[in-house]
């Protein structure tokens, strides 16, 4: 019996050691998957800079994460901190302390020494210049699928035009085991997406805007571990804990009339985008509507059209649990 137990525990130890080595190999040797940064060059033209500025400030909300924001609904950017990075502090909804890096051309604390290819790789493939995986709060997987070389480089051109600000928000610190799992998320993209559809095709333009504006990042129904639930695209219900406010849930923005926005008028939906108010007049938290309100009228109409075309999903969303009066 003693001999059998000895062999059992020896075998168990071997299995444990092999399992640990397998995890170490997968997550710390083979991950993150990355390739050398491409040899890309952003065009230094007024047109490219203007296009990148519009995407970064009015559509993709890049500056909402990479700048300091005001502590109010919509989180408008503090102008003098534009692009200097942000320490998001202790957020109950996040598994650690997330810090968005300085995107100004400062050579010491910003991206002044990064190549254009390294910036594009971080933007679309989720790998920093030093090989660290980016926390997926940065929607690099979406940008990898929908952001073309041309559009990505226009954003680089804009970032190069920013006033350099010497400010180091620090490195992101993610709690274990999430810190291990996110190493397996980045991957090289196989090909560049086509350029963004223009206003001549509002249906395609609107669908593209819903993606690059990261609407699906919050409005796709997900499990508590943030795994997307099949068949519930844009059906909402994702839980967010907002310090000083309470617990809120992302809205169902499908065209379902009972639980989504199917019964909303165009004015009701545009009010959410422009004023951060629900149909009932309640303030909207988490959603950076202060960014989306600055989109062109054409793009807002295109986004509205795309929302109307989302497949209806009956998914009741819990009401907010507000501590703020």
The set of long-range contacts for 175-184, using a CB threshold of 8 Å and a minimum separation of 24, is 175/95, 175/96, 178/95, 178/96, 179/96, 180/23, 180/27, 180/28, 181/27, 182/133, 182/135, 182/136, 183/27, 183/28, 183/31, 183/32, 183/133, 184/26, 184/27, 184/31, 184/32
Statement: residue 82 has pLDDT above 80: yes
Kindly state the DSSP code that residue 88 receives in the 8-state scheme: E
Report pLDDT for 152: 98
320 close to 242: Cβ distance less than 8 angstroms: no
Statement: residue 302 has pLDDT above 80: yes
Report pLDDT for 7: 58
Statement: residue 189 has pLDDT above 90: yes
C-alpha angle with apex 315: 295 to 241, nearest 5 degrees?
Answer: 65
C-alpha span between 46 and 128 (Å, rounded): 27
C-alpha span between 151 and 89 (Å, rounded): 31
111 token code pair: 């991206």
86 close to 69: Cβ distance less than 8 angstroms: yes
E-assigned strand segments in 150-229: 173-174
C-alpha span between 124 and 140 (Å, rounded): 5
Q: Is 200 exposed, middle or buried (0-12, 13-18, 19+ CB in 10 A)?
A: exposed
Report pLDDT for 24: 53
135 close to 143: Cβ distance less than 8 angstroms: no
Statement: residue 11 has pLDDT above 70: no
Report pLDDT for 90: 84
C-alpha span between 273 and 290 (Å, rounded): 8
Interval 187-194 mean pLDDT: 92
Report pLDDT for 28: 59
pLDDT digits 0-9 by tens, 124-164:
999 999 999 999 989 999 999 999 999 999 999 999 999 99
- What predicted TM-score, i.e. pTM, was given to this entire model? 0.90
List C-alpha distances in Å: 104 to 40, 97, 164, 282. Answer: 19, 21, 5, 36
C-alpha span between 72 and 58 (Å, rounded): 18
Interval 284-306 mean pLDDT: 95
Domains of the chain: 46-184 (no CATH), 202-322 (1.10.760)
Statement: residue 6 has pLDDT above 80: no
C-alpha span between 85 and 306 (Å, rounded): 32
250 close to 238: Cβ distance less than 8 angstroms: yes
322 close to 245: Cβ distance less than 8 angstroms: yes
């Amino acid at each position: 019996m003693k001999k059998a137990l000895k062999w059992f525990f020896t075998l168990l130890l071997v299995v444990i050691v092999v399992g640990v080595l397998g995890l170490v190999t997968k997550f710390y040797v083979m991950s993150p998957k990355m390739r050398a940064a491409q040899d890309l060059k952003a065009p230094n033209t007024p047109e490219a800079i203007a296009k990148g500025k519009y995407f970064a400030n009015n559509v993709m909300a890049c500056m909402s994460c990479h700048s300091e924001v005001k502590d109010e609904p919509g989180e408008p950017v503090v102008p003098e901190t534009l692009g200097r990075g942000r320490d998001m502090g202790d957020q109950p909804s996040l598994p650690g302390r997330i810090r968005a890096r300085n995107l100004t051309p400062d050579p010491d604390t910003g991206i002044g020494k990064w190549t254009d290819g390294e910036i594009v790789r971080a933007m679309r493939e989720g790998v920093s210049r030093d090989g660290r995986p980016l926390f997926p709060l940065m929607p690099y997987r979406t940008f990898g699928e929908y952001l073309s070389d041309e559009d990505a480089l226009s954003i680089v051109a804009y970032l190069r035009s920013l006033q350099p600000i010497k400010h180091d928000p620090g490195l992101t610190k993610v709690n274990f085991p999430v810190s291990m799992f996110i190493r397996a998320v980045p991957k090289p993209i196989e090909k560049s997406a086509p350029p963004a559809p223009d206003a001549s095709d509002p249906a395609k333009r609107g669908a593209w805007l819903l993606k690059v504006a990261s609407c699906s990042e919050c409005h796709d129904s997900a499990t508590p571990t943030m795994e997307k639930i099949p068949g519930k695209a844009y059906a909402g219900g994702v839980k967010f804990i907002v310090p000083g406010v309470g617990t809120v849930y992302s809205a169902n923005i499908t065209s379902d009339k009972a639980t989504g926005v199917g019964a909303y008028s165009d004015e009701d939906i545009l009010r959410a985008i422009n004023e951060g108010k629900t149909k009932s007049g309640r303030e909207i938290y988490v959603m950076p509507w202060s960014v989306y309100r600055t989109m062109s009228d054409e793009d807002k109409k295109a986004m509205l059209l795309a929302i109307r075309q989302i497949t209806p999903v009956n998914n009741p969303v819990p009401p907010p649990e507000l501590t703020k009066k």
